Structure formats: C-alpha cells, structure tokens
Structure 1
Amino acid sequence: MKRIASACFLLVASSIGAQSGECPVAPDHSTGVSDVIAQIQAAETEQAARALSNQLWEYWTDAPDESAQAVLDRGMTRRSAWDLLGAIKDFDKLIAYCPSYAEGYNQRAFAYFLQQDFQAALPDLDKAIELSPNHVAAISGRALTLLGLQRIDEAREALSQALELNPWLSERHLMAPGGPLAPPGEDI
C-alpha cells in the first residue's frame, strides 16, 4: 500500500513540477504582446484582427515550464469538454505551483464563469490583469463577469479598457445602442 501511495505522490508531483521545487519565471512576452496589440489596433477588418488575436493566445498560454504547460493544457482540455470541476482542480494546481503566471488565473476564472460563479471568477481575473495588464481576454472576461454580477457601470468601464486595446472584440456589440452596456442615454 505504501508503494502505491508513493507512486501516486510521484505522479502528481511530476505533473505539477514539484520535482524542481518551484516554478520558474514565465517567459516575458510583453514586447510581443504590445506589438500584436498595435497591429490589431491598426487592422482594417475584424477578420485581420481575429487572426492577430490568435497570436496573443500563443503568448499567454506559453507556460513557465513543461510541467506547468502540461497542467495548463490538461485543464484547458477539460474545460473545453465541460469537465469544469476537473479543469478548476488543474488550474488550482497550476496556480499553487506558478502563482505569478497570469494565465492560470485567467483560465480558472473562465471555468468559474462557465459555471456562472461570477463571484469566484472576479478575483482571478483581477489577479490575471495585475500580472499581465494588457491581457485583453482577462479584461473583457472581467467585463462579462461584472455584467453577470449586474455591476453595469464597472462592466462598461472594463469593456472600454479592453476595447482600447482591441477595438475589434466581438464583445464591442454590448456597448452599441440598445446593448446591455450601452452608455446611459444611448437607446435605440
């Protein structure tokens, strides 16, 4: 029995990088992210902006090491399959191992958002934005979470911040006249 427990511990430990002790610093993609955001802002069509936005995800989901990458990827796969509890457990492990890696918080927030647990999602989004101030997806996710909490003015402000970075976000329609985040007095 002791051998089985030891084997299980080693399997779990290796999946979260406990072999090396602590998470290395995440790759610094801030210049690349800023460059892509500038290209998105200059894009002439939504389609062109969308293709550029995919490059942002490549930066954001570049985990600090192989162990962290494996846990992130597994959590994202579970989330995509609607195994939200399993995804949250993976993101919990990732955050415990790499507490300064923004995407762990962003992905856990997304899983909470899909569960409509907006109260749990909001602190994770705040932390992701603190760690990665130009994380457009976390900022727009924060807007949607605040909308879910019926905190309309804060949601409008967050979405405005996201749209300053990426004016082509699909969520921009929420601020159109008649939309739930339309500025006051701009009815249809």
Structure 2
Amino acid sequence: MRIFVFALLLILGPAAAGAQPVPDLGPETTPPSAEDFHSLPEDLPEEGGQVAVEESDPDEEKSRLEELFAGLAEADTPQEAERIARDIQLMWMDSGSATVDVLMSRAGKAIQLEDHALALDLLDVVVILKPSYAEGWNRRATVHYMREDFGKSLVDIERTLALEPRHWGALSGLAIIQRRLGFEDDALKSFKRALEVNPGLENAAEAIESLEKDAEGEPT
C-alpha cells in the first residue's frame, strides 16, 4: 500500500502535493461524491462535552469488535449482516471523546452542505486531537477524494487502514481511487479484500464482477 501511494504521488506530481485537482481522467469520469465511498457512517448526536480527549477501554473495544466481525462473517440474512455492520460503524464513529465526536458531527454537516474547506478544517483538528482515531482519517480521506485530491486521500486511507485494517469503507475507497486512476488489478484486490471483510457490500461485489469481466475482455 505505501509503495502504491508513493508511486501514485510521483505520477500525479504537484497536483498530489497541493490542493490542485488531478489531471483529466477521461470523458466518462463523473465528479466524485461521498456516495462513491458508499455511505459514510451517520454522525453520533452532537453533545456538549469536555475539551480533554477521553480514552475508552481499548481491550474491551477490541473484544467487542472481534465479536461483531465474527458475527458479520456468519450472518444468516442480509438484514442481520446490515445490523451488525451498522453496530461496527457506530463503534468506529465513537471516538471516546465528546469534543472529537462534536467535531466529527459538524464535519459531517459541512460535507452534506458541500463546504469541503470547513470540513477539512474540522477534520484537521480531529486527527490532531486523536491521531489513533481511524474514522477521523477515513472521513478526511473522503473529503480529499471529493475535492479530487487523490494523493492526499490515499495518504489518509493508508493511515486509516494502519489503524483498522478491516475498515471496509477505506478499502472500498482505496479500490475506487485505484480503479479511477487505471490500476484495475490493484482495485480488484482491494475490492475483494473489502468484500471479504464485509460480505454484504453489494457495490464491491458488482465492481469485482465488472473488473473481472474487463480482465477477460468481456463487455460489461
């Protein structure tokens, strides 16, 4: 992953280093949106809180996540899988800090209003306050992607996956960027990894089918 990111930064050149958009990706390329990364986890209710960053019990949280991922892999129905996936997303969204949760909620609202500059300002504070919070990096990666700053998005995706390798949103985001930039083989691997983690990802399954057909020379 790190090799891919650095190689991509070299390909994109100055566009990846700054806030400039990447070169034209072709006439069929549609503007990116949050939906390209699938739905973002819904924000937790905004509450007043302390400025101090409070740490949750990491062992208890890890144990609960392991249980949920095991249940997700063994879910008998799509409805059960969706419920478990939602529980995992809620755990990812809960930073353990009232301050960070409020910043994330406000960043989410800024994204909905397409105020990407404000969203980035808020998320910059989030990752400074709590660099161990994977969802902060993932949310910022999404905003960078929506601004077509794919180099910065990939850097934040890498950070997200370093903290939570099973983050299927980050894996899907990685695959989407790889596919948009023409790295179909890498995109296929990333989509498969995302689907392995969360078998209920219909968009990932469809992307895999499309990429495999393209590789075989079949029309999609």
TM-score (norm 1): 0.79
From the superposition, tell whether residues 84 and 16 of structure 1 become closer, same or farther in structure 2 (CA, over 3 Å).
farther
Output one character per residue of 1:28-72: Cα deviation in whole Å (capped at 9) or x when no partner.
322222222222222233333222211111110011311111111
Match of 1:85 in 2: 117
| CA contact 1:118–1:148 (8 Å) conserved in 2 | no
Match of 1:184 in 2: 215
Match of 1:168 in 2: 200
Output one character per residue of 1:132-188: Cα deviation in whole Å (capped at 9) or x when no partner.
122121112211122222221111111111111111102211011xx1465722735
From the superposition, tell whether residues 182 and 38 of structure 1 become closer, same or farther in structure 2 (CA, over 3 Å).
farther
Q: How does 1:15-164 map to 2 (within 5 A)?
A: 19-20=51-52, 23-25=53-55, 27-28=57-58, 29-164=61-196
Q: How many residues align structurally?
A: 169
Match of 1:6 in 2: none
From the superposition, tell whether residues 33 and 152 of structure 1 become closer, same or farther in structure 2 (CA, over 3 Å).
same
Match of 2:22 in 1: none
| CA contact 2:49–2:98 (8 Å) conserved in 1 | no
| CA contact 2:72–2:84 (8 Å) conserved in 1 | yes
Deviation at residue 130 of structure 1 after TM alignment: 0.2
CA RMSD of aligned residues (A): 2.3
Larger Rg: 1
Unaligned runs of 5+ in 1: 1-14
Unaligned runs of 5+ in 2: 1-47
| CA contact 1:91–1:107 (8 Å) conserved in 2 | yes
Higher relative contact order (CA 8 A, sep 6+): 2
Q: Distance in 2 between matches of 1:186 and 1:32?
A: 44
Please tell me the residue identity of whatever aligns with 2:107. Answer: G
